[in-house]
Homo-oligomer: A and B are copies of this chain.
Amino acid sequence: MSPRSPEAPGTAGQDRKSTRTRKRILESAAAVLRRRGYDGTRITEIAELAELRLPAVYYYFATREELISEVVVSGVRATHEHVAAALEALDGSVGALDRICVAATAHLEMVLVGHARAAAAMRTVSQLPDELRAPSRVEEARYGVLWRGLFDDAVARGELDPQLDPRGARMLVLGALNWASDWWDPEKGTVEEIAATARRLVHNALRAPGTDHG
């Protein structure tokens, strides 16, 4: 039976060898995808990184496209979940602008160190051919709803600078965060440092005038 439709195993379920191997392939694919982009990703390189030969990859995924699609979709979903969890952990009294900063920090963490698939997904989505774009768009749209909601709240509560176009501001902020995986070098500073700068920068950028916090 093919592991492409996994069944409940005899004992525990989560770490059958095939499940672990499959996961290793996905992580390797994410790493390659992040560095090389969609077209530059070679299955041979993925296999090498996963310490397998190429045909073993095809045992788990029918095609190159299926593998890449799963990396991207799960990367967006994982980022979405991580950000949503960070927001849910907040006290109800936290302001809309501060919630945006928490979301930004969580997003940045995922892109930089949290999950190889997250960085791969953010960098890759716009390069995907149309067939692969469709499934990933669903996840992107769901995640987009979360961010739009955060900005809508900030507008409604008067916390967003009224001179900013909310959509433009939202996309510029997310761009700043996504691009960080391009230049951030773990040897030149910790994630906490860049996250602190990003949080401060985003807070400054969006806040309505007259709400200075020194």
Q: Mark A156-181, 1 if CB is under 8 A from B, else 0.
A: 00000101110011011111111110
* Known contacts A197-B164, A200-B161; A173/B171 CB under 8 A: no
* Distance from A194 Cβ to chain B, minimum over Cβ atoms (Å): 5
Which chain B residue shows the least CB distance to A188? B167
* Distance from A188 Cβ to chain B, minimum over Cβ atoms (Å): 8
Q: How many residues of A contact B (CB 8 A)?
A: 44
* Known contacts A40-B38, A197-B169; A161/B210 CB under 8 A: no
Interface-side segment among A23-31, A112-120, A201-209 = A201-209
* Distance from A175 Cβ to chain B, minimum over Cβ atoms (Å): 3
A16, B214: Cα distance in complex, Å: 61
Could you tell me if A168 and B198 are in contact, using CB atoms closer than 8 angstroms?
yes
* Distance from A136 Cβ to chain B, minimum over Cβ atoms (Å): 14
User: Looking at the complex, which one of B38, B179, B204, B213 makes contact with A206 (CB distance below 8 Å)?
Assistant: B204
A168, B174: Cα distance in complex, Å: 15
Could you tell me if A179 and B180 are in contact, using CB atoms closer than 8 angstroms?
no
Q: Which residues of B contact A189 (CB under 8 A)?
A: 165, 168
* Distance from A120 Cβ to chain B, minimum over Cβ atoms (Å): 13
Q: Which residues of B contact A182 (CB under 8 A)?
A: 126, 175
Q: Does A88 contact B (CB under 8 A)?
A: no
Query: Which residues of chain A have a CB within 8 Å of any CB of chain B?
Result: 36-40, 126-127, 161, 163-165, 168-169, 171-180, 182-184, 189, 193-194, 196-198, 200-202, 204-207, 209-210, 212-214
The 5 A-B pairs with the shortest beta carbon distances in the complex, nearest first, are A175-B179, A39-B40, A205-B205, A168-B197, A39-B39
